Each structure stands twice: as structure tokens, then as C-alpha cells.
Structure 1
């Protein structure tokens, strides 16, 4: 720690000042018509969670627009899809029962944040609601909503995330397989064969 580190809430507020009234009042306790429509349009959500020791995780989830199901203004169902079986988010939910969601809609600079209490459900009725043409999930995350608020557009405006003229060619970095090979070698002393980007994408498509 140095004199330049902010370590107290008063010092933090002294740097930024109070929150605007509008920013405080935009947080609501349930899903309104606008939040429901936003979730229905969203094909992508980031799940934020932590374990009992505070180790954080943020996990992206995607599907067809509206793949996160709305049961009512206080309840969401998120189907789990095949992944790498690390289960970081799912284990964190078991440990703490808390989850934060950040919904995004392609072309929208605004995002929607939803926080609440989560459980892992294998209830056949929940799974049936989450089934699609590809699969019925092994489980669904059932979220009881505590707070909802729209997040302003500034971050996406600054990043120009949806602006195709600012998109970066994938060949600006090695394939994920090559990066994983290098990391396995550097941190574990293990030699592995690197998938090309095309090979990796072909493998992913088999379990989308």
C-alpha cells in the first residue's frame, strides 16, 4: 500500500462525489416490461459469481435470443450448455447462492444488469422450459431476482464494440489452441499439440 492507494470509502467518495439521484433510483426490485423485453432480445449474458472465499469468476453464456427464460417478474431460468466441465459458476452457486447477470443485445450500447439468489435445478418442468432443438439441459440455473437496472451506453460507446470498422482480424493473435499449448508448456512443463483455429471451431460446432 502507498499514499496513492484508496483504502477507505470516504476517500473513494471524496474522489468521485455522491452518486446521482437518477443513478440510485434506476435500480428496481423486479423485472419490468423493459427488462423483460431486453432479456427476450438478448442472445448473450455474462454470469458473475464468487466462491465462499471471494474468488471471482465471470462466465459468458450464449444462445438464441431469449434463451434465458422468464417465469415471472422475479424468476429467471438459465439453461446450462456443454462446456469444459470446470463448472466454476455452478460450483460458486452451490457455495454462495448468489449470481449477477449482465445481458447484452447486439447493436445495443446499453446493457441490463440483474442480481439475485440462484439455485441449480434439475426439476423436469424447469428443464422442459429450457429445452431447445439441440438438447434438454442437464440442469438449469433458477434465479430469484433481487435487483435490476439498466446500465448506460458509455462503455460500449467508448469501446465501439459493435462498430465493424473497429473489429480486429482474428489473425492478430495465435489460435486459442496455440495459446493453450504455450501456456501448458510455460506453466506446467507439458508439451501438447496445438489445434488450428479452424480445427477448434469445427470441434466446438459439434456441441453447440
Structure 2
């Protein structure tokens, strides 16, 4: 006979590249909870929090099928930067998750500067099928949490000596004054610049199959990179978060290395067919365990961008061009990904990564393999 008092639990331990303070904030601030506490295609629509022991919380959302659900409960224990414990009640369309109250506990431990060990336990679950659903869901959510905590930590860092506090730098202001455009610049900032994506912005991004990515290393050296994929390859995770895949490239890791060093990025989207462009400024982080990896065959990592500013630019100098065809090298599900000709160059034959050793060749014409000649 089944023991009705017996319960099951789920426990996972993850290393998060962020401080304990940033991870604690991700667990307790509504604006951050809304960005990670939603597995798969779920979307959070509302978060209310009474952050105190005995206080209540409620999170509402819709799943990938558009069906509403909610989680609610009470804070059982709060130790700043160390522990969050809460009761957990599910109200939604999944029968296995309904009925009864369970307990969620997040324990935070500093491993080294900027690195936190998160131990997540979801206990007092009534059945093993519920535990398995939560195991998968929490795995996806914690992947998002790691990016949210890391990105928000960079974005929230106060301006230090020599760092600008407003949208324009001192040098930009000097040039505006020289050419009499300060008032115009202020008006355009007020009208065009915002800190989140509108529905029109999101639709614009969803139509694009390329953008330019600007980053800078710790020495201030900038780098600009072209990023291409299938149309819509940049995911609008929410109004303040973009995500895109890091595909196999030339192995130099200039952009991703810079992101790991400084976290600051600028994205320029150009629609050459409609002659329109949009810029996104923000903070980025990289994860090789991000749940979005499943959406992008062939991706090595996922880059998530927390938006700080987004604005549309004057389109007057954009040349009108049309797409002849998307690159045949973009990875596709169920199809073998083509390899670039430059990997057959004799100059790199002895230094190719192990997975590419079979591509080594004797070609010598560098310009031809890079389509320059």
C-alpha cells in the first residue's frame, strides 16, 4: 500500500558567474524574477512580492500554449545574500503539479570573487512525476537565472570616476555645442531612446537575419563583428532581454572574450530592404548551458543581452539592397552543416581543433578562400 505521507524532492547545485548579492537579487526582485522564473516557452505576466518573512508572493504567466498559470506562496526564511526559503503552490493546467504545498529553498555560497554556488531544493512534492517536471523546469530556469544575475550586476554597477552618468559623454556634448545640436540631441533622446523594446521594435528584430555587434576589451580596444543567421535568429526573450547564438567561427573569440571581460555591447540592426536601422545598447553575458541552445542547432553558447537603451536612427544613408539568399553555412536542424573553405588552408592544418582535424588540406590561396579575390 502506498505511503500517503511520503514525499519526494529535487536538488541541484549550480555554479553561477555572479556575486551572491546579484543572485539573491534575482530571487527577490520582481523585475528580475519575471525574466528567469519561466521555463521553456512560458512567459511571466505579473510578479507581486511582499519581501519579508511571512510575506507573500505571486507570479502569474502563460505557458507556450497560451494557457494561464500561477505560483504563489509565503516567504519562510530570508537571509540576505545567503538564503531564500518559500512555500510553493501551483495553480495551472498541469494536473501533476496541482494539489498541495511544497517548499523551495535556495542556498547561496560564495566560491570566489564573482562566483556563487547555488543549491536549489524543491521538497515535499507529492509524486515522482511532479518531481521530474520540476527537475526539467528548474534546470531551464536556473540557466536563465545565471544570465540574468550576471547581466544585471554589470548593468547596475554605478558609474565610477571617468564614466558618464547621462546618455551623452562629455566629448559628444562638446561636439553638439560646436555644431549647435545640443537641444536637438536632447529632444531626440527624449523622443527616441527608451530602456525596453516596444511591440514594433520586437517585430523589427524578428524580421532580421543579421546585425553588427560592437564590443570592447578591458584595454578599451573596440571590436565590431557581423553576426548572421536565419531570419528571426535573435530571440526577444522579453521587453528588456535579447538572446542570440554563438556559432562556430574562426576560434578567435574576439566578441565573446570581450563580453566576458567588460560585459558591454552595442547591436546595430539594419534592414536594407526597408532602409531602416535600430541600435541596442546593453550588458551581455554568455552561457553554454542556456536552455535556448535547443532552439539553435550548431550553437556553442548563448549570448543574452540586458537592454539599457534602444533607439531608431535616421535611415537616410542606408543603401537599398535585397537578400539574394541566406548563407548556406547557417546550421539547420536535421541537416549537415557545411564547413568553410579556409579550414582547408595548409597554414592552419596543424592547429585545427580536434573536431576539425579531418578538414585539414593543402590549399594556399588565402584571399580566394575568404572570398576576397
Q: 1:148 aligned to 2:310?
A: yes
Q: TM-score, normalised by structure 1?
A: 0.70
**DSSP 3-state at the match of 1:127:** helix
- The answer to which structure has the higher helix fraction is 1
Backbone CA RMSD of aligned residues: 2.6
- Distance (Å, rounded) in 2 between the aligned partners of 1:11 and 1:36: 34
Match of 2:199 among 33, 36, 40: 33
1:33-72 CA distances to partner (integer Å, 9 max, x unpaired)?
1110110011110000100111000000011111011111
What residue number does 1:24 align with? 189
1:123-179 CA distances to partner (integer Å, 9 max, x unpaired)?
2412123x1xxx2311010111111001111221xxx35289xxxxxxxxxxxx8xx
Q: 1:162 aligned to 2:325?
A: no
Q: 1:60 aligned to 2:219?
A: no
**DSSP 3-state at the match of 1:89:** helix
Match of 2:365 among 190, 194, 208: 194
**DSSP 3-state at the match of 2:255:** helix
**Structure 1 unaligned regions, length at least 5:** 1-6, 165-176, 178-191, 202-208
Match of 2:212 among 43, 46, 61: 46
**DSSP 3-state at the match of 1:149:** strand
**Structure 2 unaligned regions, length at least 5:** 1-169, 324-341, 343-362
Matches within 5 A, 1:85-100: 85-100=251-266
What residue number does 2:277 align with? 111
Match of 2:301 among 139, 159, 162: 139
- Distance (Å, rounded) in 1 between the aligned partners of 2:252 and 2:171: 35
- Distance (Å, rounded) in 1 between the aligned partners of 2:288 and 2:239: 21
Q: TM-score, normalised by structure 2?
A: 0.40
Match of 1:71 among 223, 237, 251: 237
- Distance (Å, rounded) in 2 between the aligned partners of 1:10 and 1:122: 40
For the 8 Å contact 1:44–1:103, the answer to whether it is kept is yes
For the 8 Å contact 2:264–2:283, the answer to whether it is kept is yes
Larger radius of gyration: 2
Post-superposition offset of 1:195: 4.6
